[in-house]
Amino acid sequence: MRFPLLTFAALLAAAPLNAQTPAPAAPAAAAPAKLTTEQEARLLDLGKQYTRWFLSGKADSLATGFDAEVLTKVGGAGGIATMMEQITERAGVPTKVIAEKLTYRNGKPQHWYEAEFSELADEPLVIRWVFNAEGKIIGAGINPKSAAPKPDGTP
Q: List pLDDT tens digits, range 27-79.
A: 444 455 678 999 999 999 999 999 999 999 999 999 999 999 999 999 999 99
Alpha-carbon distances, residue 101 vs 21, 40, 128, 155 (angstroms): 22, 10, 10, 17
Span 130-138, average pLDDT: 93
Cβ within 8 Å of residue 25, ≥6 positions away: none
Whether the Cβ atoms of residue 5 and residue 120 lie closer than 8 Å to each other = yes
The residue ranking higher by pLDDT, 18 or 53, is 53
Per-residue model confidence (pLDDT) at position 68: 95
Torsion of CA 6, 11, 17, 20, to 10 degrees: 40
Per-residue model confidence (pLDDT) at position 30: 44
Note the pTM of the prediction, 2 decimals: 0.78
* 3-state secondary structure (DSSP) of residue 37: helix
Q: How many CB atoms lie within 10 A of CB 147?
A: 16
| DSSP state letters, 47-83 | HHHHHHHHHTT-HHHHHTTB-HHHHHHTTHHHHHHHH
Alpha-carbon distances, residue 49 vs 62, 82, 115 (angstroms): 9, 19, 16
Q: How many CB atoms lie within 10 A of CB 141?
A: 22
Span 126-154, average pLDDT: 93
Whole-angstrom distance, CA of residue 83 vs CA of residue 81: 5
Per-residue model confidence (pLDDT) at position 8: 38
